[in-house]
Amino acid sequence: MNGIVETVLIAISVLIAMTKAQTITSCNYDESSCGCQTDKGLINLRLFSDDGLSTEVTSGGGTFYWNPCRDFTKDELTAACVQDISPEVHYDCGIHGNVASTVQDGKAVFTMKSSDLLRESRVTCVCGSSELLVFVKEEPTLIYNLNLNSKHCCPGFTRSRSRTVYSPGSILLIVFSSVVWVYFLGGMIVQSYVKRARGRERIPHVHFWSSLPGLIADGFRFTFTCETVLQSAKSIRLDGKEYSHQDTKATLRPVYS
């Protein structure tokens, strides 16, 4: 029982340490990263520049759209944050020109005001395992609180959001390497535990692989010395008759008939 309690306490301590490791005390807005420079590293939100983020409000508040890097246009309304109530009703809830960053409860908070300064949006950046924008509440009136739960809110996280594109050559190389590994590892397991092989005999087809360098050398030797051998040959037999080689063009004449 004491061992279980000790394990639980250790797990709680590790969790608290990990939480404290992500707690920041400063957040200076950085235009180039669309995030902020913290005392624990850079929070980089530029990877959301192309598509932006959105969240639906279940209580009839419509949909919030937010781009941390720039103003965008939605139904003739241009802003960094747009509240879409209906196809006819849209509100500017913040422009990129007045974005600021602060720290609240150890997390980065990005604030922006509408162009008429009537509305304000506050996005709290929460270090998490997803990329999810969530509407929290409107409090006080016309001040919208949202949470961005994302790996990119973790200070120092720099992994690219874009997918890695592999060339056909890279794919072939990966497939070939995987097949080779499976062949050798699987073959050694079979040789060791099924055929009870020992030493170098555990390598699959060991006799072929040990003779392969010599076969390759013979192939090169034949390729580069074949012409010399033909030119130096004095006579050959063909259809039961002996022929003599007279010149480098391999013209053959019968020696006897």
- Report pLDDT for 15: 44
Q: Are 241 and 256 in contact (CB under 8 A)?
A: yes
Give the contacts of 152 (CB within 8 A, at least 6 positions apart).
35, 43, 44, 45, 47, 48, 131, 161
Distances (CA, A) of 146 to 56, 164, 238, 249: 11, 31, 92, 87
Q: Report how far residue 104's alpha carbon sits from residue 123's, in angstroms, rounded to the nearest whole number.
A: 11
> What sign has the CA pseudo-torsion 37, 42, 48, 53?
negative
Using CA atoms, how far apart are residues 171 and 79, in angstroms rounded to an integer? 42
More confident position, 220 or 120: 120
Point out which residues pair with 236 in neighbouring strands: 243
Q: How far apart are CA 30 and CA 110, in angstroms?
A: 11
- pLDDT at position 159 over 70: no
Total structural domains within the chain: 3
Q: How many CB atoms lie within 10 A of CB 230?
A: 12
Q: Is the pLDDT of residue 9 over 70?
A: no
| Residues 6+ positions from 102 with CB-CB distance below 8 Å | 27, 108, 109, 111
Summarize pLDDT for 94-122 with one digit per residue, the tens: 999 999 999 999 999 999 999 999 999 99
Centroid of chain to Cα 197: 41
Q: Are residues 148 and 176 in the same domain?
A: no
More reliable by pLDDT, 191 or 103: 103
Identify whether 216 is part of a domain. yes
Question: Which pLDDT score is estimated for 249?
Answer: 46
Bigger pLDDT: 60 or 157?
A: 157
Band (199; pLDDT cuts 50, 70, 90): confident
Final residue of a domain: which of 153, 178, 193? 153
Looking at the structure, do residues 119 and 173 belong to the same domain, yes or no? Answer: no
User: What percentage of the chain carries pLDDT values higher than 90?
Assistant: 35
Domain limits for position 199: 169-204
Q: Is residue 163, in this structure, part of any structural domain at all? A: no
Residues 195 and 213 in one domain: no
More confident residue, 245 or 113: 113
